[in-house]
């Protein structure tokens, strides 16, 4: 009975954190679909191209800054586990300072960033001009976006996924309503989408600050600004975030390389691989919810020094991750063709995709361990191991595998290299876990 109680308790804690994060993740592609749908009804493909191009640039920029959310949640969860609410408040202040500095840096660097981004991406002159206009407006949302990352990371670390869900849904709903107003009523085109994003991000920031106000009265008596920006603590906070940043850059490089090599093969292969990769993204929205739960719970039990509960929660997280992976494997095996036809009605693309469909069936089983371990390592703030494993896998496994396999196997070689990359992440992090995670357990 005692063991069953513990399992039930762990399951409740995991699901209480995971389910709101899954709902939060699903709102992101829905917003993109609405924006592209609005652009698609303006009578010219140039609007779709401008938003797609500009949106892709920001996806890479803000994804690179995702370390702010991960680092904040890990440190906060550990402070929560210690019941050290003074440190939890200090981490919030550090994250806010870091986010403001990062957001202002992006605004100051907007012209070099714009030049670099649009030098690497090919588009017609008209589409590129519109995309630059979109970029030059949306960049002003950067401070609010990064501050929201910090706030969401802090809430997750405090074992609360409901408030981030409320925040994300509110931001995206406001974004949709403003896009409709600016495009349908005011006829602002792609610039309307950019302004809708900027305003909704600052609206979300105000809501985030309001939600924080429920915590602040309890924290205020513990928090001293001088301690919050303590040089030693800030340096540690910076180093962890720097490591996660490098790890994320390797991931962005790998995914960009996959897309670039697909484009270099042919337009058809680019379309096929882009569509098939949507299966991976769809799976990631669900399994990432459990990765976020892993950040919160691993950090909590590391902070409290409870090695036994940490071990139990890791095992339980892998049970949930494996179950989600198995479910999606069956969905993709039995319904992959149907899902593909929902994504496109082009018979040429559907026919060209068929020989590669077996890769998407393998994706969940091969990749889920990397997602779960990423969350555990982030909660443990074991960022150096995350960084080192990603650099090694990218340079010693992914790139050599591609250059050896692609000339022989063609597009199957590209997919095999990607699967080796994803699988190796799970293997490397599993092997390094005992040393990397245990080393960060806080003992009173």
pLDDT level of residue 198 (50, 70, 90 thresholds): very high
What pLDDT score does 141 carry? 92
Answer yes or no: are the C-beta atoms of 48 and 40 closer than 8 Å.
Answer: yes
CA pair distance 204, 219, nearest whole angstrom: 22
Task: Fill in the DSSP letter of residue 397.
Answer: I
What pLDDT score does 42 carry? 62
Q: How many CB atoms lie within 10 A of CB 304?
A: 18
3-state SS assignment for residue 124? coil
* Packed helices 125-138 and 110-120: angle between N→C axes, nearest 10 degrees: 150
- Say which residues have a Cβ less than 8 Å from residue 320's Cβ, sequence separation at least 6: 14, 18, 290
Better-predicted residue by pLDDT, 344 or 210 = 210
* Extents of the domains making up the chain: 22-229, 242-444
Long-range contacts of 181-187 (CB under 8 A, 24+ apart): 183/38, 183/39, 183/42, 184/38
Mean pLDDT of 47-63: 73
Phi then psi dihedrals of residue 214, to 5 deg: -70, -25
pLDDT of 22 > 80? The answer is yes
What pLDDT score does 46 carry? 67
3-state SS assignment for residue 43? coil
Q: Mean pLDDT in the chain? A: 84
Q: Supply the Cα-derived Rg of the chain in whole angstroms.
A: 22
Chain centre to alpha carbon of residue 19: 16
Please state which of the ranges 37-51, 354-368, 400-414, 418-432 shows the lowest mean pLDDT: 37-51
> Percent of the chain scored above 90 by pLDDT?
34
Answer yes or no: are the C-beta atoms of 297 and 308 closer than 8 Å.
Answer: no
CA pair distance 403, 145, nearest whole angstrom: 38
Mean pLDDT of 45-51: 65
Answer yes or no: are the C-beta atoms of 340 and 360 closer than 8 Å.
Answer: no
Mean pLDDT of 156-171: 91
> Percent of the chain scored above 70 by pLDDT?
88
pLDDT digits (tens, 9 = 90+) for 261-314: 887 777 777 778 878 888 888 898 899 999 999 999 999 999 888 888 888 899
Answer yes or no: are the C-beta atoms of 398 and 417 closer than 8 Å.
Answer: yes
Q: How many CB atoms lie within 10 A of CB 11?
A: 13
pLDDT digits (tens, 9 = 90+) for 94-138: 899 889 999 999 999 989 888 887 776 665 677 777 778 888 898
Q: Residues 339, 342, 346, CA angle at the centre, nearest 5°? A: 115
Better-predicted residue by pLDDT, 6 or 310 = 310
């Amino acid at each position: 009975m005692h063991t069953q109680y513990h399992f039930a308790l762990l399951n409740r804690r995991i699901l209480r954190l995971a389910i709101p994060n899954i709902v939060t993740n699903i709102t992101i592609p829905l917003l993109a679909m609405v924006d592209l749908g609005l652009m698609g009804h303006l009578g010219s493909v140039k609007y779709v191209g401008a938003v797609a191009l500009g949106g892709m640039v920001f996806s890479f920029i803000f994804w690179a800054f995702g370390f702010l959310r991960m680092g904040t949640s890990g440190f906060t969860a550990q402070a929560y586990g210690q019941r050290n609410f003074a440190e939890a408040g200090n981490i919030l202040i550090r994250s806010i300072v870091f986010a403001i500095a990062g957001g202002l840096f992006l605004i100051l660097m907007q012209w070099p960033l714009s030049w670099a981004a649009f030098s690497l991406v090919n588009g017609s002159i008209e589409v590129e001009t519109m995309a630059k206009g979109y970029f030059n407006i949306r960049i002003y949302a950067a401070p609010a976006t990064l501050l929201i990352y910090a706030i969401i990371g802090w809430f997750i670390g405090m074992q609360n996924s409901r408030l981030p869900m409320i925040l994300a849904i509110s931001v995206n709903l406001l974004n949709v309503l403003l896009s409709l107003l600016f495009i349908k009523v005011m006829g602002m085109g792609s610039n309307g989408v950019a302004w809708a994003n900027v305003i909704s991000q600052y609206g979300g920031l105000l809501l985030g600050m309001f939600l924080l106000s429920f915590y602040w009265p309890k924290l205020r008596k513990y928090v001293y600004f001088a301690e919050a920006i303590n040089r030693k603590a800030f340096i540690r906070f910076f180093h962890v975030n720097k490591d996660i940043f490098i790890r994320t850059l390797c991931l962005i490089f790998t995914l960009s390389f996959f897309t670039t090599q697909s484009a270099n093969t042919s337009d058809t292969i680019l379309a096929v691989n882009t569509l098939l990769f949507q299966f991976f993204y769809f799976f990631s929205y669900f399994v990432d919810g459990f990765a976020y739960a892993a950040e919160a719970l691993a950090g909590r039990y590391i902070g409290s020094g409870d090695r036994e509960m940490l071990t139990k929660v890791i095992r339980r997280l892998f049970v949930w991750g494996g179950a989600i992976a198995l479910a999606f494997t069956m969905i993709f095996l039995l319904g992959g063709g149907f899902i593909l036809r929902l994504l496109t009605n082009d018979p040429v693309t559907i026919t060209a995709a068929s020989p590669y469909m077996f890769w998407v069936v393998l994706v969940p089983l091969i990749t889920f361990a990397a997602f779960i371990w990423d969350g555990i390592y982030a909660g443990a703030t074991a960022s150096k191991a995350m960084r080192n494993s990603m650099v090694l896998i990218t340079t010693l496994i992914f790139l050599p595998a591609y250059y050896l396999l692609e000339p022989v196997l063609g597009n199957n070689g590209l997919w095999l290299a990607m699967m080796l990359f994803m699988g190796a992440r799970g293997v490397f992090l599993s092997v390094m876990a005992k040393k990397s995670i245990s080393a960060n357990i806080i003992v009173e």
